[in-house]
Copies of this chain bind each other. A is one copy, B any other.
């Protein structure tokens, strides 16, 4: 399941993608438009900024805008930024790998192989969902 943060991030990006080129959106504008608690959205936009998906203009008449093409922002990236690993266990993860503590003797746990198959399929599917693909609906 996606966290609210990830869901809100997607909706915020969607909102930004629907604006005119060169338009700068204030937080309150996005919050109202996408129905997201404003103060919570502030944090999310800062995370998106640190992740180089958006940039901001500070001060009066400031706000946020996309700096990455909506064709290049994938569900997979947003999931990883806010909710971490796409794999079902850390030992099957590409970007968040950790060995499992409860697999004693064997070097690979019994679940790892199957979960890596799932990871590959899910990842591929998630990389196919972009902000652009969600907008044109």
| A residues with CB within 8 A of B | 1-2, 7, 10-11, 14, 34-36, 75, 84-85, 87-90, 102-104, 110-111, 113-115, 117-118, 121-122, 124-126, 128-129, 133-134, 137
Chain B nearest CB: distance from A108 CB in Å?
Answer: 9
In contact, A114 and B11 (Cβ under 8 angstroms): no
Chain B nearest CB: distance from A11 CB in Å?
Answer: 7
In contact, A36 and B129 (Cβ under 8 angstroms): no
The quantity of this chain's copies bound in the complex is: 2
In contact, A118 and B75 (Cβ under 8 angstroms): yes
In contact, B1 and A89 (Cβ under 8 angstroms): yes
Chain B nearest CB: distance from A72 CB in Å?
Answer: 16
- By a CB distance below 8 angstroms, the chain B residues around A7 are 89, 111
